[in-house]
Amino acid sequence: MLNGNKQTLHRKSEPLERFIGKEVRVLSRKSTSVNNFIQSDWASVTGSAESISDDRGMLYLFPIEDGRFCLQLCFWQSDESSSGRAIVNSLRFSPSFFDQYPVETLMANQPFRFDQTTEQQFSVCAKTRMYLTQLHQTDKTTPFIRSLRQTETATHLLRIALECITIPFNECQVPACRFLAYESEREKIKEACQVLEQNLDKPLTIPELAKKVAINECYLKKGFKALVGKTVHDYHQDLRIAKAKELLKGQGLTVTEVAHTLGYSSISHFSTAFKRVTGMKPCELLS
């Protein structure tokens, strides 16, 4: 058990450094205080195609003493304006932030009910991206009003992250998504992700993918969207385009070779898909 906040808070940058990783280079970084209990960090990073991965989030929880916690949220977003770059946001909630809530209320929720240091990954959805944008918006309001707005935004981000961890199917309230309450069914969705990752050169139909992981087609579509935050097609497309960028930049293949390697029916089809995802033509990475 740790005594007071100082012994834990001196490690406050460690989760962010671990989240960013050693293979990624930090280009710029800034830190601001939302209020006395919430600290916000922002970093622009760059790296290889493998290290600049898909959007994701991570929650780190550090028990301080009985019923007291320090929590950090880290968000990774690909920088759409620049290839090979990403934006990393971090929010640190001090133990004093959680003092406003009854201990029994906290302990009834994951991950607070685990009396140990915890790391849990969650999906970055469209709503999360919107709040992250709002968090760093500048305006001409007074410092107090700006702090109130940022506090509200940070609290929304914490709520969404906890909802993703506690009830990952909460975003999709249709009856078919209730099956995600079972770990065995969520594993099938994760297995579907792995199958897509292993078949970048072969677009699979929903019936084919559902058969491979032994799940109902409707459940696959709705469950995949609820857990992953993307449709099956969009997820597979993003994986293929990420691989295409790696092949074009890292291995020096031609556009034609990459299109063929990834199973696109034509160069035109590949170029259209590539531009829709990245905003640029594949040939621009060769120049």
149-176: pLDDT as tens digits: 999 999 999 999 998 876 543 334 334 4
pLDDT band at 52 (very low <50, low <70, confident <90, very high): low
What does pLDDT average to over the chain? 82
Q: Pick the residue with more confidence: 73 or 284? A: 73
Query: Which fold would CATH assign to domain 175-285?
Result: Arc Repressor Mutant, subunit A (1.10.10)
pLDDT tens figures, 178-211: 677 778 888 899 999 999 999 998 888 888 999 9
| Highest mean pLDDT of the ranges 3-7, 123-127, 197-201, 262-266 | 197-201
> Residue 60 has which token pair?
């780190």
> Residue 250 has which token pair?
């890292």
pLDDT band at 114 (very low <50, low <70, confident <90, very high): low
Residues 6+ apart with CB under 8 A from 270: 244, 255, 258, 259, 262, 264, 282
The domain ranges of the chain are: 6-166, 175-285
CA 252 to chain centre: 29
Distance CA 218, CA 108 (A): 32
pLDDT at 2 over 60: no
Distance CA 248, CA 244 (A): 6
